[in-house]
Amino acid sequence: MSQYLSGQSASDVKANDEDYQIFQTMIQRVLEQEIAPNFEHWEEAGQVPRSLWNTLGEAGLLGVDMPEEYGGASASFEICQLVIEELSRQGFGGVCGGYNIHANIVMPYLLHIGNEKQKDYWLPKMIDGSVLGAIAMTEPGAGSDLAAMRTTAERTDSGWKINGSKIFITNGLLADMVIVCAKTDPSAGAKGISLFLVDTNTPGFSRGKGIKKIGQHSSDTAELFFDDLHVPHDALLGEENLGFVYLMQELPRERLGVASQALGAMEGALQLTLNYVQERKAFKQRIADFQNTRFKLAEVKAQMELGRAYFDQCMAKYSRGEMTATDAAVLKLMLSEMQCQTINECLQLFGGYGYTTEYPISRFYVDARIQTIYAGTSEIMKEVIARSLLGK
């Protein structure tokens, strides 16, 4: 599976503590060798090189929980979350966003919904990094309101003709394959959406310039365009007009990925802060010796422990197939808001240095802001939770 696993067979990897530690060590080693030396340059460039995904594939970090028959490690899905968390903990938020889309969202869509031909064709390439995946839902006039989607897919004798555009698509500039959400029955609202596997080399597919963001700079984000783009009939993922059902079906895992990012980032930010307050002095004492500092750190730690407990509960539910949309909404709301709040408290303890790009805490701060927006805004999460309590 990987040059970093020291010969351990992928079939032996289970979700026990020993194997978890093996994977964690391997993941940390890959990140230290392949990402850490280059990350600052990628942030300045606003994009990771395409070769990074080949490197991560060779290292065995893509598709760790995919079946061995497709080239995966057949590890538990917890290991995929571990990769996300470790990327985030080390402050590689831009890479983490792209990884989450590729390995934690697009691959499971294929595995759970795709037919054997689709899985045989796409998954091995995604696992070795020769194909980078993206998913295209959001449109300029339709974010959380998928029923307002305007991209259409019209059935033809030779396949489907797709027209429309998408925006804020992570991996959009580099993706080789995109799962495109389109209306196949424009009169049916959310019940008329279908999903399509689109090879980005197909005529009629084009990309806009990379979108500049306040955070996660190395995560390329783009607008995509479809102009009479023709795909074959077998590009349909799952059944026609069931796209919205599939999107809802996969939301729990998507929001677990957001929570993994939040937990990793909070741990990374807290460690940076602990190091700083024990070294920096003011009024002839360490900042760590002020009661306010100690109490703020205690509050951050307490929140993190509560967040971790609910995250673990949701992970257990997901593994049993029992995690609901409401569970996912509560988790996403709580952890993303908590991430922003706790990292804000950490940055405050750096004083003026926290506002400079010289100190990594500032990156944790700006990278966190998107967490309450993508994968469903906090406001939408509250609406989902409220509906479960009160009904529609």
Reply yes or no on whether 69 is catalytic. no
Q: Contact 195/110 with Cβ under 8 angstroms?
A: no
Query: Token pair for residue 176?
Result: 């080789």
**Distance from C-alpha of 28 to C-alpha of 145, rounded to nearest angstrom:** 38
One-letter amino acid identity for 300? V
Q: Contact 182/235 with Cβ under 8 angstroms?
A: no
Query: Token pair for residue 74?
Result: 């057949």
Provide the 3-class DSSP secondary structure of residue 174.
coil
All residues at 6 or more sequence positions from 264 whose CB lies less than 8 Å from its CB, including other chains: 84, 85, 86, 87, 88, 89, 90, 96
All residues at 6 or more sequence positions from 23 whose CB lies less than 8 Å from its CB, including other chains: 13, 64, 75, 79, 82
Burial 76-87 (b: 16+ CB within 10 A, else e): bbbbbbbbbbbb
Using alpha carbons, select from 91, 223, 218, 112 the residue that is nearest to residue 165: 223
All residues at 6 or more sequence positions from 332 whose CB lies less than 8 Å from its CB, including other chains: 255, 258, 259, 375, 376, 381
**Distance from C-alpha of 276 to C-alpha of 375, rounded to nearest angstrom:** 33
43, 139, 223, 254: the catalytic one is 254
Catalytic positions: 254
